[in-house]
Structure 1
Amino acid sequence: MFYCLAVVLILASCVDLSENANILVVSASLSRSNQVWNNAIAFGLAERGHNVTIVTPDLPHVIKVNKNVFYIILEGAIAKFKPQIKTNVYDYNIPDLNEMKKVAKNNWDKAYRICEFYLNTQGLQTLLDYPSHIKFEVILWDLENSECMLPLIPKLGNPPVIVLSPNGFQPTLNWIFGTHWKPYLPIPGLPYDKDMNFMRRFLNAITIKFMYYQKYEVYLKENINLANEKFKNYFTIDDAMNFELNFSLALINSNFHMDYGRDVAQNKIVVGGLHINPLQEAKTVTNVNVKRIFVSLQDDKLDKKQLQGIADCLGSLDTFKVYWRVADVTGKIIKPKNIVFNETFNQIQILGSKNTKLFITSGNLLSLQEAVYFGVPILAIPSTYAQTNNVKKLSIATGAQGAINEKYLCRKIRGILNDEDYLENTKTNSGRFRDQPMKPLDRAVFWIEYVMRHGNGKHLEPLTRNMNYFESENIDLLFFAALFFICLPLTGLYLLIKCIQRRTINNDVKFNIKIKQD
């Protein structure tokens, strides 16, 4: 297999880059959503005739067959780590800073252990064994769980690197691409909405600085130490940060309609929803004329009583067929007749059906994008702050997880299905999401090929990328202005006092002289 892949890549290197390039995708996340989004880009490039090599863990239901796509599997990661992936990276109680520090450290440690595991896989060794004359024209890199592999970049000849961000805008992207996350923008995972008062902005700013410290003073240093052991080179934290400063641009899974307004630099390309194929129809389910409800929740965060409450409510809606994407629930709940359980339902296909009248979801970003695109009403039952943050941006109906029971949920569902204004807003949201000058996937492919044609994208970066924090945020100017406007009145006051004192002294002298003369 390795020799066949090598021959294909060597032959491809003789062809014009815009038509047939060798592209490496580093997609080390254990999240299925990340893999779906990253793979959509990879297959979009493959359809253009490029040869795409994907470095990925062995996630089921993600690996597909395409003549131009080659997989390098980081074997064993799913079996070892997937049972441990229970909490969201930013799922902490922000007012409790000690708890925030503890949970954040646990998640950084988890990412460190995963990356350490990858360094010892046969899959990574396969990539390291590539002959030096095999070149990749560009690397697409999802940084999650993979920063200990940054020395691959010089090992592969320092091709341009494009960062993939399936989870939308993240503070890390700002640090890498030369901008700063503003305190008035809630970071993903905090339970805040657009109403950012002073205390929220203050806590948000503290959290951002804490995350920066964790990444660059702890996590990245630990990853560089790992890399030095594996790659037998001496890389420093400065080398790692220089790698990041040379990244060409970022492809970000966001849509302006589903996010807060923000300034976006030229080296950040917004391509939210690129994984959605509008031509898909619901072909995997039967009874196509029956009204449907689709359910996809984080079932590991719901107890048996909550699951049964959801099932009982949905079972009472006997005019609907309910498709619930869930693993085996045998022994956990009593199954109503109108509910079908299956872990492998194709979510996009079901949501793409005109007969799907409601989507009950935890609020994952990709799920929300799909429902908004197809104009399906949403009831969100978020399990983490990140999901709550996604839901608040859309102002959609929510159900508190702790309050789940049959009566409460049925009232919510019937309220949505009978609310004409809500249904009309759903159609409006869909139209806004779809109204774009070009398809998100086409835009992503264009910018990847643009980088291959024109180099590393240095001409796209903002001037602030080469400034320190005080310069880019004009803190030095504000400090000078503060000093000026404080010192100027004080200086004037001082001179006025001196003038008065001098006049007083002069008057006293003249008075004394006059007395002596008299």
Structure 2
Amino acid sequence: MYLVTLEMLAVLLCSSHLVNGGKVLVFPLDGSHWVNMKVIVEELHSRGHEVTVLRPSDSWFIKPDSPHYKSITIKSSAGFDEEGFGSFVTKMLNIQRKDPGIGGGVLVGHRLGLPLVFNVRWTIQGEGHQAIAPSPLSYVPVHGSQLTDSMTFTQRVKNVLFYFFTCFQIWYISDSTYKPFVHRYFGSDVHYMELFQAADIWLMRNDFTFEFPRPTMPNVVYMSGFQCKPSKPLSKELEDFVQSSGEHGVIVMTLGTLVGELPEDVAEDIAAAFAQLPQKVIWRHTGKRPSTLGNNTLLLEWLPQNDLLGHPKTRVFVAHGGTNGIQEAVYHGVPLVGLPLMFDQHDNFFRMEVRGVAKVLDIGTVNKDNFLQALKEVLYEPSYREKMKTLSNLHRDQPMKPLDRAMFWIEFVMRHKGAPHLRTESYKMSTIQYHSIDVMAFLLAVISLILIVFISAVKFLWQKVFFKSKVKKE
């Protein structure tokens, strides 16, 4: 099952028909997902909307005080604990997916009778498209299968098996948790996924420079890279370090906002590999200083990722494969070396690898030699940078900035009190109805009946004619 990265906006209606002064209730997910939700919150505030954020009492990233929003702190343990999460990451480095557990914003929005706008890639059942859009298994790969949209027969078999395995996980984990809860508080006739599927707009944090081509729906709005922006000047100290790299340039490494350090032996190997390169390295690392660290490597507890990726001297981005980091790398045209750790990161990097813009390593087997080889390949093989520049140009060539597109649709829902005309009602249909199995069965029954009547009539006439012919002969 996939990590739920679902974050939601429950849009409150303003008494005026105008959007100015609208009220927005935000039910976010903690951690790195709040980083990009915060971009939307700040943009809504800048447009004059009153934003209220629901946050758990143990939230790590979502602060109670902000000039951009009011907060309501819920007495619950739904946030991320920094120390606990660090321990979790250490134990789960080789886990590719985690069980679902978030969905409170949907329930709150349904209870309050509010139109819903999602800031989303995932639901509690997996990738967002799967919940509302046709997803033929012949060319839409199931997430986690590491397949493309061009599959051989064997790969299509694998994709179908992954689909059935996912269905089993949903039945075993999600259904058993959410069904009784929703039935208890919302009625026995309500299926929990219908509450998700009834959302007005799905702001999808990807696009088709990242995702494989697939069917979509009118209420899906793609806003990949909405958090990306032109780089700002670096601090003097950091700029001096970057400029000291000369013609060789700089390598930037960070494993995201949630992971500041790696196991000590892995960090030692990575530092030793960096030390053998002529490039300068800027590495976000909060753990013990590796003994193999070279003079070319600068360790920081925090680094301005977007500004470094946008710097003309940046040559390679070593990353864990979070959606935000990959989208910023695409935006700035920087090729990647991947160290996916968990959740959707393996799948994200697979999409980059098949496009020829990333070299991916297994964190469980990474060592000094294969890490150094991967770095050299991406640094010195021109195709990585050329293909990433092409991907960046495709991503940037849009008639409207992704963040502006997201704002338009949020305000559209506020103006019109929802967007039901864009939402399919197919989710209310059973599987039999959705696939027209009942219609096919009915038509088959009618055809069978006609055939039976026809055959019976022919048989009857034949027997009658044959009988008369026989009587005449006698």
Give the TM bin, normalised by the shorter chain.
Answer: 0.7 to 0.9
Residue in structure 1 matched with residue 136 of structure 2 by the alignment: 182
Q: How many Å apart are 1:267 and its aligned residue?
A: 1.3
CA contact (8 A) 1:295 1:322 kept: yes
Alignment of 1:226-241 (within 5 A): 235-236=187-188, 238=190, 240=192
Q: Report the CA distance between 1:71 and its aligned residue.
A: 2.9
SS in 2 for 1:78: coil
**1:173-322 paired onto structure 2 within 5 Å:** 173-174=128-129, 178-184=132-138, 185-196=140-151, 197-214=155-172, 217-224=175-182, 235-236=187-188, 238=190, 240=192, 243-283=195-235, 285-287=238-240, 288-289=242-243, 290=245, 291-297=249-255, 303-317=263-277, 319-322=278-281
Question: Partners of 1:215 and 1:55 in 2: how far apart?
Answer: 26
Equivalent pair of 1:254/1:271 in contact (CA under 8 Å): yes
Out of 264, 274, 288, the position equivalent to 1:329 is 288
* Alpha-carbon separation, structure 2, partners of 1:234 and 1:64: 30
Q: Given residue 31 of structure 1, which amino acid in structure 2 is its aligned partner?
A: G
Q: Does 1:19 align with 2:20?
A: yes
**Conservation of the 8 A alpha-carbon contact between 2:93 and 2:363:** no
Q: Give the structure 1 partner of residue 70 of structure 2.
A: 70
Equivalent residues in 2 for 1:333-352, closer than 5 Å: 333-352=291-310
User: How big is each residue's C-alpha offset from its partner over 1:114-171, in whole Å with a ceiling of 9 and x where there is no partner?
Assistant: xxxxxxxxxxxxxxxxxxxxxxxxxxxxxxx243x6553366x422221221559974
Which of the numbers 331, 334, 356 marks the counterpart of 1:373?
A: 331
- Amino acid corresponding to residue 425 of structure 1 in structure 2: K
Q: 1:491 to 1:311 in 2, by over 3 A?
A: farther
Q: Which runs of 5+ in 1 are unaligned?
A: 1-11, 93-102, 112-144
d(CA) in 2 for partners of 1:425 and 1:82?
35
Structure with the larger helix share:
1
Alignment partner for residue 109 of structure 2, among 135, 139, 153? 153
Matched residue, 2:409: 447
Matched residue, 1:117: none
1: distance between equivalents of 2:363 and 2:409?
A: 41
Answer yes or no: is the 8 Å Cα contact 2:182–2:191 preserved in 1.
no
AA partner of residue 70 (structure 2): F
Q: Could you tell me whether the CA contact under 8 Å between 1:171 and 1:187 is conserved in 2?
A: no
CA distance in 1, matches of 2:221, 2:92: 25
Question: SS where residue 273 of structure 1 aligns?
Answer: coil
8 Å contact from structure 2 (residues 340, 363) kept in 1: yes
Q: Distance in 2 between matches of 1:428 and 1:372?
A: 9
State how far apart, in whole Å, the 2-side matches of 1:158 and 1:224 are: 15
Take 2:119 and 2:432, find their aligned partners in 1: how far apart are those partners? 28
Q: What is the aligned partner in structure 1 of residue 8 from structure 2?
A: none
Indicate conservation of the 8 Å contact 1:167/1:365, yes or no.
no
Residue type of the alignment partner of 1:53: T
Deviation at 1:207, TM superposition (A): 3.2
Alignment of 1:366-445 (within 5 A): 366-384=324-342, 386-394=344-352, 395=354, 396-445=358-407
Helix, strand or coil: the match of 1:71? strand
The verdict on how the C-alpha distance between 1:13 and 1:452 changes in structure 2, with shifts beyond 3 A counting, is closer
After superposition, the CA RMSD in angstroms is 3.9
Mapped contact 1:304–1:333 kept (Cα < 8 A): no
User: What count of residue pairs does the alignment treat as equivalent?
Assistant: 441
**For the residues of structure 1 that align with 2:336 and 2:411, how far apart are their CA atoms?**
36
Distance 1:208 1:488, change over 3 A: farther
The TM-score normalised by the length of structure 1 is 0.73
Aligned equivalents of 1:406 and 1:279: distance in 2?
31
Compare 266-275 and 442-451 and name the one that shifted more: 266-275
Q: What is the CA-CA distance between 1:439 and the residue it aligns to?
A: 0.7
Shift of 1:234: 6.4
Q: Which 5+ residue runs of structure 2 have no aligned equivalent?
A: 1-12
Q: Aligned partners of 2:396, 2:110: CA distance in 1, in Å? A: 40
Give the drift of 1:312.
Answer: 0.8
Distance 1:364 1:43 in 2: 22
Q: 2:30–2:80: 8 Å Cα contact kept in structure 1?
A: yes
CA distance in 1, matches of 2:234, 2:450: 73
TM-score (norm 2): 0.79
Cα pair 2:142 2:159 within 8 Å, conserved: no
Aligned to 1:30: 30
- CA shift at 1:91, angstroms? 4.7
Aligned to 2:9: none
Aligned counterparts of 2:150 and 2:93: Cα–Cα separation in 1 = 23
- Secondary structure of 1:286's aligned partner: helix
Is the CA contact (8 Å cut-off) linking 1:271 and 1:443 kept in structure 2? yes
CA 1:272/1:22 → structure 2, altered by over 3 Å: closer, same or farther? same
Pick closer, same or farther for the CA change 1:78–1:17 going to 2, 3 Å: same
Q: Alpha-carbon deviations, 1:241-274, whole Å to 9, x = none? A: 5644542221110111110111111111111111
Corresponding residue for residue 52 of structure 2: 53
